[in-house]
Every structure is written in C-alpha cells, then in structure tokens.
Amino acid sequence: MTDLLLKNATLPDGRTGLDIAVTSGKITAIEPGIPGDAGTAIDCSGYLVSPPFIDAHFHMDATLSLGMPRMNQSGTLLEGIALWGELKPQLTVEAMVERALRYCDLAVSRGLLAIRSHVDVSDPTLRTAEAMLEVQRLVKPYIDLQLVAFPQDGYLRSPGAVDLLNRSLDMGLNIVGGIPHFERTMAEGTQSVELLCRIAADRGLPVDMHCDESDDPMSRHIETLAQQTVRFGLQGRVAGSHLTSMHSMDNYYVSKLIALMAEADIQVISNPLINITLQGRHDTYPKRRGLTRVPELMAAGLNVSFGHDCVMDPWYSMGSGDMLEVAGMGLHVAQMTSRKAIRQAFDAVTINPARALGLPDYGIAVGNPADMVLLQARNTIEALRLRPTRLAVIKAGKVIAQSAPQISTLSLNGRPDAVNSADYAPQTKNKTGKETR
C-alpha cells in the first residue's frame, strides 16, 4: 500500500507529468500515471517538487537575538563580533534553545530541512555548545542540524580557545571551525589553519572555516587552507566559508589560487545576503560587492553552495529562513543571469550543499528518503523569480508543513491560478538553437 502519492509533479531537472509514490518513508516509484490508492494523495498540478533546501552556513546560537543588548550601529562585521561579545555573558541555554526552535519552525515552513550551524565556543561556559546539541537532538526528526566548533574570538588570539575547541568537540560538535583572518597577524592566521586541520585529521572530522571574510586582497588564508587540506589528505572534506577577499584579489593570483582550491576539492560556501551588506563598508564609491567569485569557481569545477549565515542577529537584522531569498541575492550579486546560471543558483541551495555537508541519499530518486518540497512554481527558474509558496513540505513521507496557494480572487485574466504568471514560457533558444541569455 502506498502511503503517499504525489500526482503530476515536475522535478528540478525538468522532467514533468510524473507521479511519486512513497511507502514507509521512502520513495518507491517515480513515473507517469502510477495507479492505485494511497493513504494521502496530493495533486501537484504540474508544480515543482524539489528536494529540501539546505543551508550550508548558519549561526543558530545567535539567531533571533536582534537588539540584544543593542543594535549594530555601524553595520560592520567587527561591531557585530563586539556586540555578540557583549551579549554572550547574558545568554542562557534555555533562551538559546527557545530562539533556535522558533527559527527551526520557520525553516521547516520554508522547506529548509538541513542546516550547518557554526557554534561559538569562545565562552568558557560552553553554554552555546550545550544549547545547540540540545536543539540538534530536539529537531532531529525534521532537520539535519550539523554543528561546527567555531572559535569566534580567534583560535590563537583568544585565551583558552585551544582548550575550549577541543572540549566542545569532546561534547559532540563534530566539525572543526576557524577564523584565520581574525587572528592577530597573518602568520598566526596561517598557524591556526595548520593546527585546526591537524585536529580534524587526528579526529577524523571535516573542517569548515570562516576564511578571508575581509575586503583585504592580501588575506590569503584560503591558499593555506587548500595546502593543508592536501597535506592531511582531507580533500573534499574541507569547506572555505565566505572567501570574500577573493573578490578584491589580483586576477593573476586568483588564476593560480582557484587551481589550488580545485586540487584540494575545497567546498566553497558563499553567503550573499551577509557579504553584500557587510563587505565594502570601508569603501566610498565605487563600493565593492565583496562576494567571492562564484561563477568562476563553479566553472573551475568547484562545488559552490550558498548559506544564509544570519537571521536577525548582531550582524544582520533581516532574513527569512528562505533559501530562495539567499540564492536570489547570490544570482543578482554574482550576475548569474543566464538560464544555466540561474539553475546553478538553485543547485547552490539544494544539491551542492548536500554534497558539501556529506548528506547521504539526498534527492528525489527511488530508494531515497521521501523528503520533498512542493512549490507553487513550474520550474527552478520560476522558483527563484517568485520565491513561491511552499504548498507542502514532506519529511520521510509525512507532510510537516502546508501553505495555501497564492491566488487572486479577482481573476482579471480569467485564470484564477495564474497570479504568478506560471504559464509564461520565455523564448530561451535563438534561431541557431543556442541558449540565449
């Protein structure tokens, strides 16, 4: 007996008119016209069924703390770090758990079912780690929450950080973080990368560092991170988050650097909402965008993901838990406007972070867990354009969030379901059959 049957779905790869059958939490068939009764049947009306969204970079311990104890006046990364430092002594495990769970409810409603969160382990109480491990346990049936041991105040710069990072890994955080551009000197930044990669190699853990989150073109810790990745045999298991200094680097140097990163199979994680608001703050005009070189990195074969980074915290007062907002900003800032590039932006919040986070059995395929999102959009490009309603969010074959479709009751064009111009099919091929922009 089929537990759940999705009728007439379109998949991100463009296949359409498909039914998806689910039994005991797994996808058992994907084909047109699957007959038979199901416990629950959903008519997808040709709309897009995507695997869940994934956020490759977030700060769950700080989320929804906006205004505590005050607002960030300058809007800079450094005032955000100082402000978070003021807030840390006031944090309680209970309040952090409560805020994080509120965020997770929002995330589920947006179809966001896997999140990698950096956890600040600079405070000797390690309350942040305790709280986030509790959140990880509580949301496990719905959200795959990965936790990075993140030395926010510097691994070598902050007294006690070496011991605290090790203790937090002993507690159960299982990804090694870092922040080399925040160490006192370039030399200490380099040293921190080496020491942290060694810990990861010794413990058999992945690495995900805040790396070169700076407009300084001489912030080149990603070079060391790539080198140490190869040295310790960590290829494919090391992520460089932000990498904003690459925006400002000399082009000739970057041409060498990207090849080094590809050799190390560095997982690139860019955070467009945060980078476009925090970077370039010391510029007058023109102001740099500050986003890392996303299209060029993708073209070189690197796996690039987009992260949300912050939602209503000391660094960012906006944010919605919607990875389509994140990808939408990414495609604008990186000028990824060709049809192919827009689809790549969708991949950067779905299949790319699944690889970066090492999520097994991800994607809509027979035998995989039935984790899916039904969107009120006809394809991935329309999803990015409209940030559409999540009509249903499905986890292990169970509908865990639902929203009513967006419709106009006026029906000015006589098509009550056409409020999102869903039937608009742009001409994407020119006379030569080549895809147009």
Q: Segment 298-337, which members bind Fe ion (CB under 5 A)?
A: 309
Residues annotated as part of the active site: 213
C-beta of 153 vs 309, nearer to Fe ion: 309
* Beta carbon of residue 160, minimum distance to Fe ion (angstroms, whole number): 21
Q: Find the shortest distance in angstroms from Cβ 213 to Fe ion.
A: 7
Site size toward Fe ion (CB under 5 A) is: 1
Closest separation between CB of residue 208 and Fe ion, Å? 10
Following CA atoms 223, 224, 230, 236 in sequence, which dihedral angle do they give, to the nearest 10 degrees? -70
Beta carbon nearer to Fe ion, 78 or 187 = 78
Binding mask 265-304 for Fe ion (x = CB under 5 A): ----------------------------------------
Residue 118 C-beta: closest distance to Fe ion, Å = 6
Q: Residue 61 or residue 309: which is nearer to Fe ion going by CB?
A: 309
- Please, what is the minimum distance in Å from the beta carbon of residue 210 to Fe ion? 5
What's the CA gap between 343 and 346, in Å, rounded?
5
Site for Fe ion in 72-101 (CB under 5 A): none
Tokens in use for 420?
């999102």
Q: How far apart are CA 247 and CA 270, in angstroms?
A: 11
Amino acid letter at 22? V
State which of positions 338-397 bind Fe ion (CB under 5 A). Answer: none
Beta carbon nearer to Fe ion, 313 or 371: 313
Write down the least CB distance from residue 276 to Fe ion, Å: 14
CB of 269 to Fe ion, least distance (A): 9
Q: Nearer Cβ to Fe ion, position 111 or 178?
A: 178
Structure tokens at 117: 């969160």
- 10 or 168: CB nearest Fe ion: 168
Q: Which position's Cβ is nearest Fe ion?
A: 309
Residue 59 CB, nearest approach to Fe ion (Å): 6
For Fe ion, the closer of residues 19 and 309 by Cβ is 309
Footprint (CB under 5 A) of Fe ion, residues 138-197: none
Q: How far apart are the C-alpha atoms of 72 and 78, rounded to whole Å?
A: 10
Q: Which one, 223 or 309, has the nearer CB to Fe ion?
A: 309
Q: Which two tokens stand for residue 220?
A: 């080149």
Instruction: List residues binding Fe ion (CB under 5 A).
Output: 309
